[in-house]
Chains A and B, each alone.
Chain A
């Protein structure tokens, strides 16, 4: 874990490699999570992000069981779940927060039970919840930057139709938007993002980075694109501020980032303008 490392760093007073790697990886995730999180906020899918993140533990268990990289297990589980939920998107009697709740906690419990049945594996709940930002290696950096760039390209491609169906789904459909495909594409994007960021950010931090920067940005934005860019910036500021805060106060990195984001949000409430009436 990180406290001894931080202690060592404080003694030398140096920004060592692992801190730079943490910064790059964290900011990388935040830059994608900001714009993607705007859609989570606009489409009221907060619980969807939560469900994805919680199901990741099942993916870790699956990866260990099959002897492959846990990230692949997480990716498989989140993609399957996203496809199930996207398939249910059309039917209003099923797709609800209740179904998400059932899936989320079942997947989490299944993951925990499966892990407990495996010999020699002990789950570090802190790492699962907040990730292990300070142990990020170069492979993780490549994964985040590559995956992040790919996600941003996909999101840019989905942007106009996804925004159109967010504003009015039937209008978008009537005017030729392939609503089901776009919805599935966005859910897969979130699944991919969560899988790629899981090791770095954990289940709680990734949902925080999806929601809080977008919420901050709302107060300063007069258009969806402006809000997306601001959310990416606020996310990056929260990661940077949180990491330096954890360095300074000797606190765990993940929760410090969430608190930095919260601080930004509170500031936005004080200084932002209400845009809904002008």
Chain B
């Protein structure tokens, strides 16, 4: 967090209430170039709201958000549903906010492994296909910051692991910063530099391993969270297997997915 002087986005003392309900309290956050930040927290913790404030889609009651001048943002919203009344092919979706040459579109789709879907109608895509297409679309504008709001929702467990690997690979190749939201505490990905644990205020922050041992985190999510939390926490170099916190190698096993909490 010595990245302050060149921060892409810096938020200070954010407060926000909606309809008398406190959503964000005294949130400080800065995103440095090239870092991957994962925002976790229980349902209703204000994660999506914080993202919307950082993107300038909502105004906080108090506090400031400063985005670096000329910052290019690629955004994957939590919900992306296209009405059947609008005919839209994948290739047209790619140039939604910016023009791009056909070769660039093909390259971006190939990078996320969905080049074959170029001519498909967007409404016919599966959840995983749509996320990959949206990732490719975001990459096309060569963003400084990728904002992914629950990028693995609607994707099966094996697909989730692949998607996280793809996101790591994208950071390595493009050097963009990534801010990712996850409500599923167990699926914090491998290459995350910092985990921010939000519950109206920022309870704790640090590397995945640090946060997993943080008393605030354990109080909020319970001791069992720590073991499952480590599922993807296998360091910055990217493996194709996963570790538990104790360092044991564990297969990617759908059974782990059932370690969910209720809040």
Contacts and interface: CB of A to CB of B under 8 A. Distances in A.
A24 interface: no
Interface string A222-234: 1111110000000
A221 interface: yes
A275 interface: yes
Interface string A138-182: 000000000000000000000011011011101111111100000
Contacts of B120: 278
A278 B80 contact: no
Interface string B65-89: 0000000011101001011111111
A41 interface: yes
A42 B83 contact: yes
A171 B86 contact: no
B141 A224 contact: no
B89 A223 contact: yes
Contacts of A166: 86
Interface string A263-278: 0000000000001111
A225 B92 CA distance: 10
A225 B96 CA distance: 12
Given A174-B56, A174-B57, A167 B88 contact: yes
A218 interface: yes
Looking at A174, A177, A227, the one whose CB has the most chain B CB atoms below 10 A away is: A174
Contacts of B123: 276-277
A224 B92 CA distance: 9
Contacts of A161: 97
B52 A227 contact: no
Nearest to A215: B85
A167 B124 contact: no
Interface residues of B, number: 30
A275 B124 CA distance: 10
B185 to A, nearest CB: 25
Contacts of B96: 160, 163-164, 167, 171-172
B165 interface: no
A44 to B, nearest CB: 8
A226 B98 CA distance: 19
Nearest to B73: A174
Given A171-B80, A174-B73, A224-B92, 14 more contacts: A42-B83, A172-B96, A173-B57, A174-B55, A174-B56, A174-B77, A174-B147, A175-B75, A175-B97, A175-B98, A218-B85, A218-B87, A222-B89, A276-B124
Looking at B85, B88, B97, B124, the one whose CB has the most chain A CB atoms below 10 A away is: B97
B124 A170 contact: no
A222 B120 CA distance: 9
Interface string B103-120: 000000000000000001
B14 to A, nearest CB: 17
Nearest to B122: A167
B150 to A, nearest CB: 14
A177 B84 CA distance: 23
B121 interface: yes
Interface in A243-278: 275-278
B86 A175 contact: no
A275 B85 CA distance: 9
The 5 closest A-B pairs by CB, nearest first: A174-B75, A276-B84, A174-B55, A175-B97, A221-B87
Given A170-B52, A276-B123, A278-B121, A160 B97 contact: yes
A157 B56 CA distance: 25
Nearest to A221: B87
Contacts of A163: 96
Contacts of A224: 86-88, 92
Nearest to B74: A175
Interface string A58-98: 00000000000000000000000000000000000000000
A132 to B, nearest CB: 33
B249 interface: no
Contact of B77 (A41, A160, A170): A170
Contacts of A222: 87, 89, 121
Nearest to A160: B97
Nearest to A172: B97
B18 to A, nearest CB: 12
A173 B55 CA distance: 9
Contact of B86 (A167, A170, A176): A167
B93 interface: yes
Nearest to B87: A221
A171 B148 CA distance: 11
Contact of A276 (B75, B121, B141): B121
B92 A275 contact: no
A264 B92 CA distance: 27
Interface in B27-63: 52, 55-57
B127 to A, nearest CB: 16
A164 B97 contact: yes
Interface in B128-151: 141, 147
